[in-house]
A and B are shown apart, each in its own frame.
Chain A
Amino acid sequence: MSNVINSLYNMRLLDDLARKETPIHKIHPLVKLLTTFVYLIMVVSFGKYEIGSLLSFVFYPVIIFALAEIPVAPILKRVLLVEPLIIGIGILNPLFDHHTILFFGIVISRGWVTFLSIFIKCGLTVVASILLIATTGMDRLAVGLRMLKVPKIFVLQLLLTYRYITVLMEEVSGMMRAYSLRAPRQKGIHRSVWGSFAGQLILRTFDRAQRVYQSMNLRGFTGEYNTGEVTKVRFKDFAYLAGWSLFFIISRIFNIPTLIGLLVTGVIK
């Protein structure tokens, strides 16, 4: 169950981070969503063999991390958890690619280039997705989705699932802690109490979910989804989207790292 609890903590962390009030958090959610999409499309559109230009895309996550005051370590840990799958797939590229290239005099399979490319792309895209939710949060993202004309039922279902996950897991974590405090030498939960443990959990979780649903009804829930504050897209938001998109497009077309390198080597010479 600890895997489940850890995931809950992770989600809670991202939720808490989303409640900060930095300039990045104040940007309109739709704009952040679109920026992320432009970023993802640009990164993913790189060919198999391009690595240099990919590196200039590191600027976006770094700046967001810094401006939005998001701790780097837990997010990167999350990214590293996703990488093994990519490594598993990518590691075969060197084996299957029969072309070779010269790298500083050593002959290596061209597959290593594609492998590295996939690895970097995976890191960048996952970080971008997580940063989106860390700076926006589920509620504001739902506002953004509604503005994109995503159907109400879908957004509602999304939010409810999200909330029920936390309800479910909060109960689990609370009960497990209570149990372990009363059974100090017991590792995990003894099988003789699985039944009553489960029963207690069901009743509590269900009651809480019912209370949530009933309070929604009492506050006038009729299946409609009201977004509350109507956030307008201001000039600042436009500028954010335009600025980043321009940077992404330029980085996509021009190989900035190589340009920098050429500049420096030129100067040295």
Chain B
Amino acid sequence: MHMADALISPVVGGIMLATTAGVVAYSIKKIQNDMDEKKIPLMGVMGAFIFAAQMINFSIPGTGSSGHLGGGMILAILLGPYAGFITMSSILLIQALFFGDGGLLAYGCNVFNLGFYTCFIAYPLIYKWFTRKQITSKRIFVASMISALIGLQMGAFSVVMETLLSGKTELPFGTFVLMMQPIHLAIGVVEGFVTATIVTFVWKARPEILEKTATLEPLGNVSIKKVLTSILIAVVVVGGSLSWFASTNPDGLEWSMKKTSGEKTLKAPDAIHKTLSEIQNKTAFLPHYGFKTKSGENKEKQAQNEKTSINAGKSISGILGGILTLALAVFTGVLIKVIKKKKKT
């Protein structure tokens, strides 16, 4: 459900990577003073837990789609915003590398969407506000629920913006938004519940964790063993019970897409695309498909070239060339394998 490389442009990907890198660097600086070694295994375990939790898809009733936990709020509440953000970024990197879930260029976008809004906006502004006077079961529940809902809404909207600015899909802004936000509202409710459950669990077993994290004190004499134990119990409960409800339904993002077919489309903001494509044309290696370009061509000619270049691409030479290239590639691979086998014997 994380954004794939194919949906973003290098510009957007690069900007988000730089932004995320900046936030990570800032977080690291912030925790360097408070970091005591006991927190490191806790970060590792929490990372593993959220990783496992994100693999479980649950179906959203009434919509026919499914979603999965973000986990940003849990990390922020139990580890503090800075450590939480760092943990989230390492989880997403492992997912990108090992599962292709979220591209490497889109890595910055994904960390930002799932981590920034929860750790640095929802947590300090919403969760902490609700629990400012004291921490009770009820407050935890309300705080978790609202933070999760808003954090996810912001993350979902971010996805829409990043996709729109990359200009890789034809999806009109309005329809995309109208589909993404309600789905993530539903996912947010579930995330709110799970967050509240886990946080209440930890709070009942070891309230010092929450209070110490709130004031960014190191964990000191708190019984790490007991906290780790309870968290790992939650891992198994989540894994065991929720996997019963694991869904094969399409993900929330896909469902949004499928549902918009046949719907009345709102006017696409062509102006934005035109401006962006102009910028892209100027900064791209070659403005467009053809390799005979003259600078200063007007827009009409560019559009015409685009059209004819599509036709050229679809013409026989193009297709034949494409098939030949693929065949050549496969042949090369097979050839290398054969040579290697011969070398061995």
| B47 / chain A contacts, CB cutoff of 8 Å | 157, 160-161, 164-165
The listed residue (A47, A66, A88, A102) touching B289 by CB distance below 8 A is A47
CB distance from A151 to the nearest CB of B (A): 5
Q: In the bound complex, do residue A158 and residue B94 qualify as a contact, i.e. CB atoms below 8 Å apart?
A: yes
B223 contacts the other chain (CB 8 A): no
How many A-B Cβ pairs are below 8 Å? Answer: 330
CB distance from B279 to the nearest CB of A (A): 13
In chain B, residues 6-45, which have Cβ atoms closer than 8 Å to a Cβ of chain A? 6-10, 13, 24-25, 28, 31-32, 35, 37, 40-41, 43-45
B274 contacts the other chain (CB 8 A): no
Q: In the bound complex, do residue B104 and residue A261 qualify as a contact, i.e. CB atoms below 8 Å apart?
A: no
| A88 / chain B contacts, CB cutoff of 8 Å | 250-251, 253-255, 257-258
User: Which stretch in B117-125, B145-153, B214-222, B313-321 binds the other chain?
Assistant: B313-321
A41 contacts the other chain (CB 8 A): yes
In chain A, residues 32-52, which have Cβ atoms closer than 8 Å to a Cβ of chain B? 36-37, 40-41, 43-45, 47-52
User: A113 vs B318: C-alpha distance in the bound complex, in angstroms?
Assistant: 14
Q: In the bound complex, do residue B318 and residue A261 qualify as a contact, i.e. CB atoms below 8 Å apart?
A: yes
The listed residue (A91, A160, A261) touching B316 by CB distance below 8 A is A261
B96 contacts the other chain (CB 8 A): yes
In chain A, residues 187-214, which have Cβ atoms closer than 8 Å to a Cβ of chain B? 189, 194, 197-199, 201-203, 205-206, 209-210, 213
Residue of B nearest to A67 (CB): B336
| A51 / chain B contacts, CB cutoff of 8 Å | 313, 322
User: A206 vs B240: C-alpha distance in the bound complex, in angstroms?
Assistant: 18
User: Which stretch in B135-143, B195-203, B205-213, B227-235 binds the other chain?
Assistant: B227-235
Interface residues on B, range: 35 or more
A245 contacts the other chain (CB 8 A): no
The listed residue (B4, B25, B172, B311) touching A85 by CB distance below 8 A is B4
Residue of A nearest to B338 (CB): A66
Q: In the bound complex, do residue A44 and residue B250 qualify as a contact, i.e. CB atoms below 8 Å apart?
A: no
Q: In the bound complex, do residue A129 and residue B86 qualify as a contact, i.e. CB atoms below 8 Å apart?
A: no
User: A211 vs B337: C-alpha distance in the bound complex, in angstroms?
Assistant: 43
In chain B, residues 260-307, which have Cβ atoms closer than 8 Å to a Cβ of chain A? 260-262, 265, 268, 280, 284-286, 288-289, 291, 306-307
B178 contacts the other chain (CB 8 A): no
With A4-B55, A172-B239, A202-B229 in contact, do A101 and B310 touch (Cβ < 8 Å)?
A: yes
Residue of A nearest to B105 (CB): A40
Q: In the bound complex, do residue A37 and residue B10 qualify as a contact, i.e. CB atoms below 8 Å apart?
A: no
CB distance from B322 to the nearest CB of A (A): 4
Q: In the bound complex, do residue A206 and residue B229 qualify as a contact, i.e. CB atoms below 8 Å apart?
A: yes
A31 contacts the other chain (CB 8 A): no
> Which of B253, B289, B316, B337 has the most A CB atoms < 10 Å from its CB?
B289
| B312 / chain A contacts, CB cutoff of 8 Å | 258
Q: In the bound complex, do residue A258 and residue B170 qualify as a contact, i.e. CB atoms below 8 Å apart?
A: no
Q: Enumerate 18 A-B pairs (CB-CB under 8 Å) in ascending A order.
A: A4-B243, A7-B99, A44-B8, A50-B313, A59-B329, A92-B169, A93-B170, A102-B314, A119-B6, A125-B5, A129-B97, A157-B47, A161-B48, A161-B94, A165-B48, A202-B233, A210-B41, A261-B322
Contacts A41-B105, A66-B332, A161-B87 aside, 12 further interface pairs with beta carbons under 8 A come to: A40-B5, A40-B103, A49-B289, A59-B329, A63-B332, A88-B253, A88-B258, A153-B31, A157-B47, A165-B52, A253-B286, A265-B320
* Interface residue ranges, B against A (CB under 8 Å): 1, 4-10, 13, 24-25, 28, 31-32, 35, 37, 40-41, 43-45, 47-49, 51-52, 55-56, 86-87, 89-91, 93-94, 96-101, 103-105, 167-172, 225, 228-229, 232-233, 235-237, 239-241, 243, 246, 250-251, 253-255, 257-258, 260-262, 265, 268, 280, 284-286, 288-289, 291, 306-307, 309-314, 316-322, 324-326, 328-330, 332-337, 340
* Interface residue ranges, A against B (CB under 8 Å): 1-4, 7, 10-11, 14, 36-37, 40-41, 43-45, 47-53, 55-56, 58-59, 62-63, 65-67, 69, 78-79, 82, 84-93, 95-97, 101-104, 110-111, 113-114, 118-119, 121-122, 125-130, 132-133, 138, 141, 151, 153-154, 156-158, 160-165, 167-169, 172, 189, 194, 197-199, 201-203, 205-206, 209-210, 213, 223, 249, 252-262, 264-265
